Amino acid sequence: MRSIPLFLTIIFCFLTINSSFAQKKKKLKGKDEVVHIETSFGEIVILLFDETPEHKKNFLRLAKDDFYNGTTFHRVLKGFMIQGGDPNTRTGNDSTRIGIGNPGYTINSEIVEGLDHDYGMVGAARQNDEINPSKSSSGSQFYIVEAKEGAHHLDGNYTVFGYVVEGMDVIQKIAESDIYDDGEPLERIEINIKVVKEKKRDLAKKYELRII
């Protein structure tokens, strides 16, 4: 077999590297929407995955419609996760139904290989397999993995749709809250959410992200 001339090899390598750079550069064009969760413990900043488009679209829509404002992190399990997004947790709503509230619909699961329950990942809560074999997600309830080793027993069973880029120290403080036996905090941990558009290039620099 004839060998490939050296200069052709160099050109091929250059084109490959340049193409790879161009693809990464292309991914950094445009803007993304950043989720800022305000709590009495501080701010949590979250980015949502494009690989789970229905969950991303739904969460952003609810956040922009102020659906989450005035709700709480109603379930806190130290060494595991914190959970919020239940409309029943608003002041004046039926406190006996906390944990089962939703906007009146579910979302088809978007379980993506490689999006695992690592430290700081955001997942969609759901009903158990017995009544929800399709693993459909709650329309609004979400959780954030607080366990530093992750919560990998949930991998492949719940949709992971975002990750924390700032505020894990806040999440850890929340996880230290005094709780009742069912995980509900003794004191309200109210949340308010705003969505801010930022350039992907700026986000990559700010949070030292490789690809947005």
CA Rg, the chain, in Å?
Answer: 20
**What does the pLDDT read at residue 11?**
42
**What does the pLDDT read at residue 27?**
60
Low-confidence ranges of the chain (pLDDT < 50): 1-4, 6-25, 210-212
Which H or E run includes 137? Answer: strand 137-138
Instruction: Convert the pLDDT of each residue in 26-41 to its tens digit.
Output: 567 899 999 999 999 9
Q: Which residues pair with 191 in a beta bridge?
A: 71
Q: Which of 60, 51, 14 is nearest to 212 (CA)?
A: 51
| Dihedral sign for Cα atoms in the order 188, 109, 155, 120 | negative
Q: Which residue has the tokens 């789970």?
A: 52
**What does the pLDDT read at residue 15?**
46
- Identity of residue 169: D
* Structural domains for the chain: 32-206 (2.40.100.10)
**What does the pLDDT read at residue 29?**
84
Q: Which residues pair with 195 in a beta bridge?
A: 35
**What does the pLDDT read at residue 10?**
44
Which H or E run includes 30? Answer: none
Which H or E run includes 32? Answer: strand 31-39
